[in-house]
Chains A and B, each alone.
Chain A
Amino acid sequence: MRLDYPSNVKIIRVPCTGKVDVMYLLRAIQKGADGVYAVGCLEGSCHYNEGNFRARERIEYVNTLLDEIGITGGRVRMYNLSSGEGPTFAAYAKEMTEHIRKLGPNPLKHK
């Protein structure tokens, strides 16, 4: 569809968002990513039943961990869409980028 979205978004392929480990999310923040988000299927239509719910749970958990160490504001997010929704994907990429821009750089960066 060639829809424009910010180039700071880079995609890492996983078979299902249920595979997204807490460790991956924390690793990304630790190494200096300003934000991380997982994009899964719409709730209720996970190809593997509830992988996307697991991802959401983990993401909420990671945010509480980050809050505890002072990295607040929700730098880790979960989005849901179906594979037929290119425009929504682009919209989420923009939304996430704007959200992170407002928060500013990851305080762990260059430390």
Chain B
Amino acid sequence: MISPKLVEVGRHNNIELITNSEVKGVDGEPGNFTVTLQNNPRYINPKKCTGCGDCAKRCPASAVNIINKGYNDRRATYIEYAQAVPLAFAIDMDACIGCGLCENVCLAKAISYSDKVKATEVTVGSMILAPGTKAYDPSQLDYLGYGKYPNVVTADGFERILSAGGPYFGHVMRPLDRQEPKSIAWLQCVGSRDTNRCGNGYCSSVCCMYATKEAMIAKEHIHGDLDCAIFNMDMRTFGKDYEKYFLRARDKAGVRFVKARVHTVTENRETGDLNVRYATDSGEMKEETFSMVVLSVGLTIPDTAVELAKRLNIDLDRYNFSKSEPFAPVETSRKGIYTCGVFQGPKDIPGSVTEACAAACLAGSELSGSRGKDIEVVQIPKQIDVTGQDPRIGVFVCNCGINIGGIVNVPAVQKYAESLPYVVFTDSNLFTCSQDTQEKIKEKIIEHKLNRVIVASCSPKTHEAMFMETLEACGLNRYLFEMANIRNQNSWIHSKSPELATQKAKDLVRMAVGRAATLYPMQEKRIPVNHRAMVIGGGIAGMNAALNLGKQNFEVVLIEKEPELGGFARKLHHTIEGGDIQEYIRKLSAEVMANDKVEVLLDTEVTGFGGYKGNFKTDVAVGKGRETRNIEHGVIVVATGAVEYKPKEYGYGESDKIITQVELGDLLEGKGAKDLETVVMIQCVGSRNESMQECSRICCQNAVKNALVIKKQNPDTQVFILYRDIRTYGLMEDYYKEARGLGVIFMRFNSDDPPEVKVEGDHISVITTDHVLQQKVEILADLLTLSAGMRPSDTKKLSGIMKLNSNQEGYYMEAHVKLRPVDMPGEGIFLCGTAHGPKLITETISQAQAAASRAVTFLAKPEIKLSAITAKVDTQHCVKCLTCLRTCPFNVPAFNTETKVIAIDEAMCHGCGACAGACPRQTIQLGFYNDEQITCKIDALLAGGM
């Protein structure tokens, strides 16, 4: 997953990587910082090192492999992991015996024992702190036995055990006896939500998901029966599509979720098995035995980051996270210095990537005046002319660690590829996407005069562009490349039948070889980019995106369907931290209106849409008069928002004493809690059920927030919160704890036994099963508040016009959950706010900044390259029947009355191939997908018999 990103960063011309270095001090001010660095010696010159590994092979000194949590050894001369960037070895001087062997064997003359600590300086305009996280060290929690019992491992250690590049090469084994475990227990909240033993009161946000994922992968890796149990207080699977994953783990894969916090782990000395003692809800003590115990350790801030913050004068909170304001999530206390990732607060990968883009947005916006200076321009070598040459095909088969190699017989596939027509070279790699392999592919292309390249690995969706760049970098046209997807469409799918998977891999490679022989070079056209952006939706997300684009000197048209800006947030009052939402919206909308780059169109709807990335044309109907305007723009930011679900359950609408959380917010802001005696809140209303499987993410903190307001306004009011799992993730856990401290009563119910609600005169009777007493309890409330979930705004019409894809719940889909979390699948279209999925205002703001940042990567370019995958007409054989004109969904083909032929403008052509499919004489061919290039695949597939 991370490999293509690493490679991209490694190859990016505007990124200078300075590794093995620490920031010692920062002087100056925003726009002009001088940063003092301490460059630590690696004793191997990364510029000379080829990453061949000869030094490590010969090194006689061994050292503990820290990245594999000490489960295996490495040499003193080492590289941390196979995909590392830069791919250069280093010498661990603590382990090195100074024998000089590595210096003797290194052909690149990269070893330099005399390397010293150096001090250097760099000048920068703004800074981003992303010092990352360290997993909590559970050795101080003696009752869990970590460090004492070998089969108790941390989750990050288990992650290494699962990894193909890990100590056991991806075979799940326990450290004590290298036996496959029969059962594994995960203990949640180790080093999180624990003020008692470790002082970390916050929730680490990620452990519930990673434990579930580890259980699923462990079950996949161990092909027999593996009992997986996850001991938790609350399952916090609150992210987009996470609940579905949790349900799949529980209901399909049979992962057990046990509601308990384990208090002791002891070892059976003979077997190495572990006895896990815990109390059930009813207080009964239980003991279970497992082969292995995984501690789901939380995220902490490493000491080095705390010291860094001190040197830079950055304020930290009591848990050492960077202090930030709810409406300025990625800004630190020092101007011009931004932050992202776990240093900002506990979060998962999509959240970190989003925040990283947001930090880049703010860092870049201060420097927008000097954009384009101090950068290098990519030099692409002249293309090798392959016309008239017979195909010379090279096939590179990937093991993908053990993702492919563990199931498919890769040597057999490689051997088979050798036997196929035109194949002159084959190779296999552990990770074909790693940077060193790119170099190897380039070498082989030159050495064997390859003019067609096939990589048999994973999905072209994620990796095709990268491999195509590798071809380009050594002068081969990028369209002389083909992928055989033997992972996503094969080894992952057919992991239970390795033989069938190997056979299918051969079939897929044969099809790719058949097609590769038909490929020919194609050239990409360059077109200018319109530097105006369109933002759809004037809520917090849309306003932030528009404002940040405006601040970077790009023209923006902001469209809002309502007569005023603000969106759903106009109905909200305070964040859980106490931030005044109304005041924020007032300030934000005033700033948006005052920015001369941003044009705001209220009461406006999209009525028509056309064009393509960099050159969109959108029709809008503006104002009461529905006046039509055509707007030309280069990018789109979609920020259409969400609304509160209108409950159908628990008697909503039957009594004015049954309201939603948003309505309660209004009530507390207005007349307050002074008349309230007993308030009951019911969670997960319209979420986590059949009609909406997903968690709405915000409702738990909403309930806690309102409960706190009630308790603070009127300590005598009794507040009951009936919940399934309390999901106050991250730093919001503190508020949950505060609410319990103030006497708010939290009662858990099961989804199959929901509370019953009856309206009885002036009161509402709520009957629920108390999870401790295991008895029905009746609460007479004078107010029932339903924590109604979120629903995406109704965007059916807009989605239809603009062809935007939504998931089952109606939220817009991102191009890739982790790698491209704010890009939409269509190029030049970006996404932010609750249109993407339920989220808090703070998260919305950073996502909107992220979307603006991604949009700038488009807008900052003078021109963009168009795909060469377009339709071309063979005018010699065309009979001008005009079928293509009638077929094209975008009216691109046109009859030129002067030349009397059909012309297709390649800048307009979307490359769908509809015309090519409809042309009765087959005189239209779509590049990269012409008839021969598809039928040869059919022929090659069926030549093998099915």
Which residues from chain A sit less than 8 Å from chain B, CB to CB?
2-5, 7-8, 10-16, 18-21, 23-24, 27-28, 31-34, 44-51, 54, 58, 82-85
Contacts and interface: CB of A to CB of B under 8 A. Distances in A.
A85 B926 contact: no
A23 B489 contact: no
A32 B504 CA distance: 17
Contacts, number: 123
Nearest to A90: B493
A33 B942 contact: yes
B600 to A, nearest CB: 30
A3 B889 contact: no
Nearest to A20: B917
Nearest to A28: B938
25 contacts: A2-B492, A5-B493, A7-B490, A7-B493, A7-B503, A10-B941, A14-B913, A16-B913, A19-B912, A20-B917, A21-B916, A21-B917, A24-B931, A28-B938, A31-B938, A32-B946, A45-B805, A47-B803, A47-B826, A48-B889, A50-B889, A51-B914, A54-B917, A82-B807, A83-B805
Interface in B913-946: 913-914, 916-918, 926, 929, 931, 934-935, 937-939, 941-943, 945-946
B934 A12 contact: yes
Given A7-B504, A19-B917, A83-B825, A51 B938 contact: no
A23 to B, nearest CB: 7
Given A12-B511, A12-B937, A47-B803, A32 B942 contact: yes
B511 A10 contact: yes
Contacts of B913: 14-16, 18-19
B934 A14 contact: yes
B282 to A, nearest CB: 37
B123 interface: no
Contacts of A19: 912-914, 916-917, 926, 929
Contacts of A44: 800
A84 B805 contact: yes
B578 to A, nearest CB: 37
Contacts of B931: 21, 23-24
B657 interface: no
A19 B924 CA distance: 11
Contacts of A12: 511, 934, 937-938, 941
Given A18-B913, A83-B805, A23 B935 contact: yes
B942 A31 contact: yes
Contacts of B912: 15-16, 18-19, 47-48, 51
A47 B497 CA distance: 36
Nearest to A44: B800
Majority SS of interface residues in chain A?
loop
A15 B869 contact: yes
Q: Name the residue in B507, B808, B887, B912 with the highest tally of chain A Cβ atoms < 10 Å from its Cβ.
A: B912
Contact of A2 (B493, B889, B929): B493
A71 B504 CA distance: 26
A20 B934 CA distance: 9
Interface string B493-505: 1111100110110
B805 A48 contact: no
Contacts of A45: 799-800, 803, 805
Contacts of A2: 220, 492-493, 495
A10 B494 CA distance: 12
A84 B504 contact: no
B494 A4 contact: yes
A46 B799 CA distance: 11
Interface string B258-298: 00000000000000000000000000000000000000000
A10 B806 CA distance: 27
Given A18-B913, A48-B889, A54-B914, 18 more contacts: A2-B495, A3-B493, A7-B500, A7-B503, A10-B511, A11-B485, A12-B941, A15-B869, A15-B913, A19-B916, A31-B942, A32-B946, A44-B800, A45-B803, A47-B826, A82-B805, A82-B806, A85-B808
Nearest to B245: A1
B942 A28 contact: yes
Contacts of A14: 913, 929, 934
B917 A18 contact: yes
Contacts of B511: 10, 12
Contacts of B485: 11
A59 to B, nearest CB: 12
A11 B946 contact: no
Nearest to A22: B917
A2 B501 CA distance: 13
A7 B508 CA distance: 11
B656 to A, nearest CB: 40
A88 B183 CA distance: 31
B214 to A, nearest CB: 15
Contacts of B460: 13
B910 interface: yes
B917 A4 contact: no
A2 B495 CA distance: 9
A32 B945 contact: yes
Nearest to A82: B805
A4 B800 contact: no
Nearest to A58: B917
Nearest to B483: A13
Contacts of A15: 869, 911-913, 926, 929
B813 A83 contact: yes
What 10 A-B pairs come out closest when comparing CB atoms?
A19-B913, A49-B889, A48-B912, A31-B942, A18-B914, A16-B912, A2-B492, A7-B500, A84-B807, A7-B494
A50 to B, nearest CB: 6
Interface in B709-740: none
A27 B935 contact: yes
Interface in B445-469: 460
Contacts of A84: 805-808, 813
A16 B493 contact: no
Residue among A4, A8, A19, A28 having the largest count of chain B Cβ atoms under 10 Å: A19
